Structure 1
Amino acid sequence: MAREQLGICTEANLHGGYLFFNALEGHERVLRHKLARLPQLFDRLATHFSEALLTSVVAIGSNYWDMLYPDARPAGLSPFPDLPAEDIDLAPVPLDLMIQIRSDRLDVNFIATQQVLQLLQGHAELQEHIQGFRYLDGRSLTGFIDAPCNPKGKTKRVAALVDHLQQPVFAGGSYLYLHCLNFDLSSWQQLNTGQQEDIMGMDKVSGKPFLAGRQAADSHYAVMQPDTAQGIFLQQNMPFSQPKVQGMLQLTYAADAGVLLQQLKRRLGLAEQTQGYDQLLNYSRIDFSAAFFVPSISFLELAAKL
């Protein structure tokens, strides 16, 4: 049975680090071996610092996949779509690699990050390093509970992991859409609580969604609620803050690439039967978006031997 990367369906952590790389041309063979070693590296650290609950994700950019693994490609894996959304720039970028490091200890994240950088030095160039954190009781910087529609328990795996009956080679893997959002908190904080709740479609304190009579069709909750007919997905988001930028890294995992595309269209008001785009985007700017596939540990190890 394929061994999935534990960071896909992990529970919430206090700290997160996100490393974005572009690979050097001609280093594919070496990188296949290096990437296959990363899960072992993280396993050793997770055992040594067991109280930190360290997990990781090694994701391959959709544009880079064929260069790194030319013999097999996940069904439906495509570059991040640059959809014609009015006044919304998705800012897609072709990133080659994304490595997520999450734990309950910032020093353990630092140690893991340094070992990753050392392992990939001379083979991939670091483009961006973003550090995230858990905010209060799992809220975004808007002050609202984040991802209230997320599946729970075993349903997480159903939502996020490729089934072996559908794609045996890529079983245990996951499709990933990533957005780096910059919140306009000064404008957001000028709204009163009722106005914020109408935009979000839920109670600010409890996170409970509004009933149909008050729930606007273009509220954040309404457009982010999975369309079960299209398939479900799993969000693993984390806020971040820099001196001049506050926002959130939104990571959406799914077992099927089509689910991610349909959900993106729903959020942008481009899907059938939608009545507008996510109103929270009026208070956000997307700094960049990217599409990845997260192969299973079994795939990483097997591909390194070929």
Structure 2
Amino acid sequence: MAREQLGICAEANLHASYLLCNVLDGQEAILRQKLLRIPQMLQRLAEHFSESMLTGLVAISSHYWDSLYPWQRPAGLQAFPVLPSEHLAVSCSMADLLIQVRSDRLDVNYIALQQIQQLLLANIEVSEQLSGFRYLDGRQLTGFPDAPQNPRGIKRRQAALVPAVDSPMFAGGSYLHFYRANLDLKHWQQLTVAQQEEILGFAKTDGKPLPAERLLPNSHLQCSLAGGLAPLPLLQQNMPFAQGNSQGLLVLNFSHQAERFAQQWHYRLGLNEGRYYDSLLDFYRIDLAAAFFVPALGFLEAAANGSLGTSSDLFE
């Protein structure tokens, strides 16, 4: 069975750190060796600081994948979609790698990042270093519970991980869309709780869907449903951020099917016939976005030892 990187399906933590990195020219061969060491390093630290619940992952961007792993590409790996909408202005990041570290101890995050950066010092440049934190009892800065319709239990793996029947080469991996959404907190806080709930489609206290008579067609809930019936099979892993006068949400969406991301944005932007755009987008500005693939551990191992030619190397 393919072994996924532990940061994909991990439960929520108190602290998150993210590195967006650009790889220096000609580093692909040594980088294939070092990327395997990052999950191994995180596993050792997780065992040493067992109470911290440390997890993490390393992901390769859609534009850098062919340079690092030219033998085969995940079938659905594409750049973050650029969609025509006055409500969404995205600057796509050209970062080659995304490295995420999460735990319940900020000092353990620091130690892990320090060791990762020391490992990759000669091979990369860090273009962005971002930090997220748990807010209250797992809420966004809007005051609402984060991702109340997120899949739970075994459904997390089913939503996020590529099954072997679909792709033996990339089984246990996951397609990942990352973006930073800046919240217009001043104008959001001027709304009443009832107005906020109608924009989200959820109750502010417990995240339960509003009754049908209060559920608006342009609410976030309605615009996030596939065909208006059920949530798209995406696993959200969000963390609030605040830095200076900027605050909002760092969003990681995982899926076993890359086309789900384009569907998500078509629904939220009202690009499908007869649909409304997500009114929550009036309060967010997405200024950084990128698409990645998170390979399974078996894939990283096979790439590091040069045995990608045989798919049996991907399963242990």
Separation in 1, partners of 2:85, 2:2: 38
Deviation track 1:78-131 (CA, whole Å, cap 9, x = no partner) reads 111111112420222222100110000000000001011111112111011111
SS of 1:277's equivalent? coil
Separation in 1, partners of 2:230, 2:242: 36
2:128 equivalent in structure 1? 128
2:272 equivalent in structure 1? 271
User: 2:271 is aligned with what amino acid?
Assistant: L
1:100 equivalent in structure 2? 100
Question: Deviation at 1:206?
Answer: 1.6
Aligned pair count? Answer: 305
Does the 8 Å CA contact 2:46/2:54 hold for their aligned counterparts?
yes
User: 2:170 is aligned with what amino acid?
Assistant: F
Question: Deviation at 1:185?
Answer: 0.4
Separation in 2, partners of 1:222, 1:34: 43
Question: Deviation at 1:273?
Answer: 4.3
1:8 has 2:12 as partner: no
Does the 8 Å CA contact 1:149/1:226 hold for their aligned counterparts?
no
SS of 2:250's equivalent? strand
User: 1:12 is aligned with what amino acid?
Assistant: A
2:111 equivalent in structure 1? 111
Instruction: Map 1:125-274 to 2 at 5 A.
Output: 125-226=125-226, 232-274=233-275
Deviation track 1:9-61 (CA, whole Å, cap 9, x = no partner) reads 11110110011101112111111111011111001100000000000011100
Question: Deviation at 1:74?
Answer: 0.3
Deviation track 1:114-165 (CA, whole Å, cap 9, x = no partner) reads 0111111121110111111111111100000110110010000000000001
1:60 equivalent in structure 2? 60
Deviation track 1:264-284 (CA, whole Å, cap 9, x = no partner) reads 21111113442x221111111
Percent identity reads: 55
Separation in 1, partners of 2:295, 2:301: 10
Deviation track 1:217-236 (CA, whole Å, cap 9, x = no partner) reads 11112222455789511100
Question: Deviation at 1:179?
Answer: 1.1
Separation in 2, partners of 1:113, 1:232: 31
User: 1:237 is aligned with what amino acid?
Assistant: N
- 184-193 vs 78-87, which moves further: 78-87
SS of 1:264's equivalent? helix
Separation in 2, partners of 1:108, 1:216: 44
Does the 8 Å CA contact 1:79/1:94 hold for their aligned counterparts?
no
Separation in 2, partners of 1:124, 1:68: 13
User: 1:202 is aligned with what amino acid?
Assistant: F
Instruction: Map 1:289-300 to 2 at 5 A.
Output: 289-300=289-300
Does the 8 Å CA contact 2:179/2:252 hold for their aligned counterparts?
yes
- 219-228 vs 41-50, which moves further: 219-228
User: 2:297 is aligned with what amino acid?
Assistant: I
Does the 8 Å CA contact 1:148/1:207 hold for their aligned counterparts?
yes
User: 2:47 is aligned with what amino acid?
Assistant: T
Separation in 1, partners of 2:121, 2:37: 14
Q: 1:131 to 1:230 in 2, by over 3 A?
A: closer
Normalised TM-score (structure 1): 0.97
- 226-235 vs 290-299, which moves further: 226-235
Separation in 1, partners of 2:85, 2:95: 22
Does the 8 Å CA contact 1:42/1:55 hold for their aligned counterparts?
yes
Structure 2 unaligned regions, length at least 5: 307-316
User: 1:30 is aligned with what amino acid?
Assistant: I
2:90 equivalent in structure 1? 90
Separation in 1, partners of 2:179, 2:128: 13
